[in-house]
């Protein structure tokens, strides 16, 4: 049995070198064991390919993109078995030509997918907590307790989320952003003490792979995802347009997969971006009130947006909503299509121009097309109405009341339609 020692918990550089070397040499997973160096002395044993054993330097390991993404995420899982589980898949893809797109029931594939899903869930918790902790400008250090090795993998997110300096301490890793550069250090130290061995700059030496930009979800993968939860987890790292950078997070749709009605808005606002849920701010309150007046409950419908990231501009210290550009609407189309495929709603309510254009694929004038139910294709009917934030923007109280009543009337049609299905 050959033992492979890695320099740290997410040592992608060494793991990749070893996996490439042994997979090309045809070494089966059973002949290898993997572990992380325990001390500075142990670190002398970190894997290196001896020059006498070099495989053909021109030999290329062709890995499917999906597997590359699994490796990146799977390495962050808490299980010590992860190095072996990932190598096993690499070996089988290279040596046995295992096809990952058709082998989802394969036990080796399933165990890697379980690791990846756990990392995605922990990543989401980590990001939400990070954003919450450092929302307080006085907070400079966060002692975090992640249940997976997700600190390094979220460096890019953390730097994008808060530009001012911050520091994270965990049992296994310290990470700090000084406003200009990112640093990694050993974990376990008191929040105020220098980590053992000092700080090492990201992107160099054993940290050359971090921070790493997460891969843009593959549209083929999105099209074949079979649950809303999995879809939401994939959407978390969407980089299909540039909005992910300033926004805090992807705000995915919310509601049951069995909902018969899907309500589509434009994009999350400031409060939605912070909470990670659609329609929880002022427009959401108007929507909920109108739904109730129409005899509907939010809990029985699916609520989503045409664009899943918040677009804004800073003014006087506040983030002001900006209409999404057409590029973002188009880039986000795959998520809306996938939500529609999984929910198969009988009726889709398009609230506002962005939602209507995203579903009808043509210019829309709301006043001309609102308030009637029409066939939308793929087994759904459609209804165009105003966006609830339009009601908030109307200048006079009389206009507000009149337009709100019309909005409720449109939702009553939705209620009547739902009753007709029952």
Q: Which two tokens stand for residue 9?
A: 């918990």
Helix (H) or strand (E) holding 159: helix 155-161
- Smallest distance from the beta carbon of 262 to ligand URA, in angstroms? 13
- Smallest distance from the beta carbon of 305 to ligand URA, in angstroms? 5
- Smallest distance from the beta carbon of 299 to ligand URA, in angstroms? 16
- Smallest distance from the beta carbon of 360 to ligand URA, in angstroms? 17
Question: What is the C-alpha separation between 264 and 258, in angstroms, rounded?
Answer: 16
Cβ proximity to ligand URA, 149 vs 310, nearer residue: 310
* Exposure b/e, 350-377, CB count within 10 A at least 16 = b: bbbbbbbbbbbeeebebeebbeebeebe
Q: Which two tokens stand for residue 47?
A: 């894997």
* Exposure b/e, 242-256, CB count within 10 A at least 16 = b: ebbebbbbbbbbbbe
Mutual angle of helices 228-235 and 326-343, in 10-degree steps: 160
Q: Which stretch binds ligand URA (CB under 6 A): 199-207, 230-238, 242-250, 278-286?
A: 278-286
- Binder of ligand URA out of 195, 217, 269, 345 (CB under 6 A): 269
Residue 113 in contact with residue 104, Cβ under 8 Å? yes
Closest CA to 221 of 231, 208, 206, 229: 231
Question: How many Cβ atoms sit within 10 Å of the Cβ of residue 203?
Answer: 15
Q: Based on the shown chain and the rule CB under 6 A, indicate whether residue 305 belongs to the binding site for ligand URA.
A: yes
Cβ proximity to ligand URA, 94 vs 286, nearer residue: 286
Please give the residue whose beta carbon sits closest to ligand URA in the complex: 265
- Smallest distance from the beta carbon of 306 to ligand URA, in angstroms? 8
Q: Which stretch binds ligand URA (CB under 6 A): 235-243, 274-282, 373-381, 396-404?
A: 274-282
Q: Based on the shown chain and the rule CB under 6 A, indicate whether residue 253 belongs to the binding site for ligand URA.
A: no
- Binder of ligand URA out of 46, 73, 241, 283 (CB under 6 A): 283
- Smallest distance from the beta carbon of 283 to ligand URA, in angstroms? 4
Residues 352-391 binding ligand URA (CB under 6 A) are 389
Q: Which two tokens stand for residue 324?
A: 């999404």
Whole-Å CA distances, 7 to 11, 14, 153, 165, 205: 6, 7, 16, 27, 11
Q: Based on the shown chain and the rule CB under 6 A, indicate whether residue 268 belongs to the binding site for ligand URA.
A: yes
- Which residues fall within 8 angstroms of residue 419, CB to CB, at 6 or more apart? none
Q: Which stretch binds ligand URA (CB under 6 A): 42-50, 81-89, 268-276, 390-398?
A: 268-276
Bridge partner list, 349? 263, 383
Question: What is the C-alpha separation between 196 and 24, in angstroms, rounded?
Answer: 37
- Smallest distance from the beta carbon of 289 to ligand URA, in angstroms? 14
Q: Based on the shown chain and the rule CB under 6 A, indicate whether residue 266 belongs to the binding site for ligand URA.
A: yes
DSSP codes, 201-223: ETTSGGGTT-S-PPPPPPHHHHH
Q: Based on the shown chain and the rule CB under 6 A, indicate whether residue 250 belongs to the binding site for ligand URA.
A: no
Cβ proximity to ligand URA, 170 vs 267, nearer residue: 267
- Smallest distance from the beta carbon of 322 to ligand URA, in angstroms? 12
Residue span 177-216 as binding mask against ligand URA, x where in contact by CB under 6 A, dash where not: ----------------------------------------
User: Cis peptide leading into 211, omega within 30 of 0?
Assistant: yes
- Smallest distance from the beta carbon of 267 to ligand URA, in angstroms? 6
Q: Which residues bind ligand URA (CB under 6 A)?
A: 265-269, 272, 278-279, 281, 283-284, 305, 389
């Amino acid at each position: 049995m050959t033992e492979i020692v890695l320099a740290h918990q997410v040592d992608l550089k060494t793991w990749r070198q070893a996996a490439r070397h042994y997979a090309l040499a045809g070494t089966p997973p059973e002949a290898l064991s993997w572990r992380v160096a325990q001390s500075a002395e142990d670190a002398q044993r970190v894997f290196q390919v001896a020059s006498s054993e070099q495989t053909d330097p021109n030999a290329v390991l062709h890995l499917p993109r999906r597997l590359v993404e699994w490796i990146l995420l799977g390495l962050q899982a808490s299980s010590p078995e992860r190095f072996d589980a990932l190598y096993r898949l690499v070996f089988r893809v290279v040596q046995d030509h295992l096809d990952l797109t058709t082998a989802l029931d394969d036990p080796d594939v399933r165990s890697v997918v379980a690791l990846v899903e756990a990392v995605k869930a922990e990543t989401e918790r980590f990001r939400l907590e990070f954003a919450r902790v450092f929302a307080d400008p006085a907070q400079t250090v966060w002692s975090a307790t992640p249940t997976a090795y997700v600190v390094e993998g979220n460096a890019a997110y953390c730097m994008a989320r808060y530009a001012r300096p911050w520091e994270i301490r965990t049992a296994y890793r310290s990470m700090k952003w000084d406003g200009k550069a990112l640093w990694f250090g050993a974990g376990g130290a008191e929040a105020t003490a220098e980590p053992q061995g000092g700080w090492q700059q990201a992107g160099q030496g054993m940290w050359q792979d971090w921070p790493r930009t997460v891969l843009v979800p593959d549209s083929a993968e999105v099209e074949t995802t079979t649950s809303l939860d999995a879809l939401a987890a994939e959407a978390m790292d969407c980089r299909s347009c540039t909005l992910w950078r300033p926004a805090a997070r992807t705000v995915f749709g919310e509601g049951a997969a069995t909902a018969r009605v899907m309500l589509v808005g434009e994009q999350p606002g400031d409060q939605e971006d912070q909470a990670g849920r659609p329609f929880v701010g002022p427009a959401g309150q108007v929507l909920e009130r109108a739904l109730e007046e129409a005899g509907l409950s939010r809990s029985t419908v699916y609520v989503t947006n045409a664009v899943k990231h918040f677009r804004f501009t800073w003014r006087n210290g506040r983030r002001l909503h900006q209409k999404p550009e057409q590029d973002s609407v188009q880039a986000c189309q795959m998520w809306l299509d996938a939500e529609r495929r999984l929910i198969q709603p009988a009726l889709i309510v398009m609230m506002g121009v962005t939602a209507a254009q995203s579903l009808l694929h043509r210019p829309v004038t709301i006043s001309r097309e609102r308030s009637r139910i029409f066939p939308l294709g793929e087994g759904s009917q459609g209804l165009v109405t105003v966006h609830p934030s339009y009601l908030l923007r109307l200048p006079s109280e009389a206009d507000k009341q009149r337009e709100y009543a019309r909005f409720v009337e449109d939702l009553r049609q939705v209620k009547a339609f739902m009753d007709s299905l029952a």
